Amino acid sequence: MGSKILKFTLNGEPIEIAVSPDEMLIDVLRDRLELTGTKKGCGKGECGACTVIINGEAVNSCLVPAMKASCAVVETIEGVGGPDKFHPVQETFMDMGAIQCGFCTPGMIMSAKALLDKNTNPTDKEIKKAISGNICRCTGYVKIEEAVRAAAEKMREDQ
């Protein structure tokens, strides 16, 4: 199979890269574009470690053929916040101890950010649903849910 040119916006920057039709988005991000914050866990869409935001929706990048990102806006953990100013979700995860080993953290943050980008006043049920596709083996989710609630409050205050 021949390569095709994939054009999309990645973390605010235009990208143009040749990909093979069978390449998955996670592999393009990690192996070709060297954005290793997106973790490769199960490869079956069950753990959420590879979560990115595509056109405002949290998705498992291990299930997305790279060409499906054509003309899309893709955001990875590298595009959230920055060295001088963290995103409120990143801040609250750190401040509230919602990070243990850190493997799930990028995907968890992306899922939480996708929710809060649409709704800065989510219910507990909405928070649980938003992160339900992300598996964490360390924290038991209580601190993660608290951090998402705190980030929502912080984002409402900043509006």
Q: What is the CATH number of the domain that holds 103?
A: 1.10.150.120
**65 and 12 belong to one structural domain:** yes
The vertex-14 CA angle with 10 and 20, nearest 5°, equals: 75
Which of the listed residues 46, 61, 79 is the one where a domain comes to its end? 79
Using 50, 70 and 90 to split pLDDT, how confident is the model at 158?
confident
**Over the stretch 103-122, which tens digit does the pLDDT of each residue have?**
999 999 999 999 999 999 99
Instruction: Express each pLDDT in 120-155 by its tens digit.
Output: 999 999 999 999 999 998 878 999 999 999 999 999
Counted domains in the chain: 2
| 38, 70: one domain | yes
Residue 35: both structure tokens together: 């954005």
Tell me how far apart the alpha carbons of residues 131 and 145 are, in angstroms, rounded to a whole number: 9
Q: Final residue of a domain: which of 79, 109, 139? A: 79
Question: How far apart are alpha carbons 17 and 150 in whole angstroms?
Answer: 38
The reply to whether 66 and 116 lie within a common domain is: no
Domain range enclosing 28: 4-79
